[in-house]
Amino acid sequence: MRISVVVLTLVLTAVLLAAAVPKLTGQAQMRARMAHLGVSPERTRMIGGLEIAAIIGLLLGLLWPPLGIAAAIGLALLMIGAAIHHARVKDPIPATMIPVVFAAAAGALAILHLANG
């Protein structure tokens, strides 16, 4: 397995964990941020659960690449949805671009998995 797959997987899982825990625990700052985006507390917890599922899929993908590819694609779609929500409420460009960058990183991880066969 190429080092790039391992490093990108670990970076993405670390970032996702930092985002998922506040959503799942209902931290006040995260609730306020998600409410600003028009996301209900129930949906916020669901998104946090999807992020945890992505973490598990990305890590297990190091052992079984098809799962890593599926998790990376799912994560990319989740991040595109986040970018759409940011754009919809007219957040500043940097806030909208953060999930776009992570969607691109997830897409790159899927491609790296495929390239490593």
Whole domain around residue 12: which residue ranges?
3-115
Instruction: Give the C-alpha separation, 30 to 84, whole Å.
Output: 18
Q: Residue 1: what pLDDT?
A: 63
Instruction: Give the C-alpha separation, 25 to 31, whole Å.
Output: 10
Q: Residue 116: what pLDDT?
A: 87
List, as one string, the DSSP characters of 6-24: HHHHHHHHHHHHHHHHHHH
Instruction: Give the C-alpha separation, 91 to 115, whole Å.
Output: 36
Residue type, 4: S
Looking at residues 9-27, what average pLDDT do you find?
96
pLDDT over 80 (residue 117): no
b/e map of 9-38 (b: 16 or more CB within 10 Å)?
Answer: beebbeebeebbebbbeeeeebbeebeebe
What is the count of structural domains for the chain?
Answer: 1
Using one digit for the tens of pLDDT, what is the confidence trace for 1-17? 689 999 999 999 999 99
Looking at residues 28-40, what average pLDDT do you find?
93
Nearest CA to 68 among 56, 81, 52, 50? Answer: 56
Q: Residue 27: what pLDDT?
A: 93
Using one digit for the tens of pLDDT, what is the confidence trace for 52-75? 999 999 999 999 999 999 999 999
Using one digit for the tens of pLDDT, what is the confidence trace for 96-116? 999 999 999 999 999 999 998
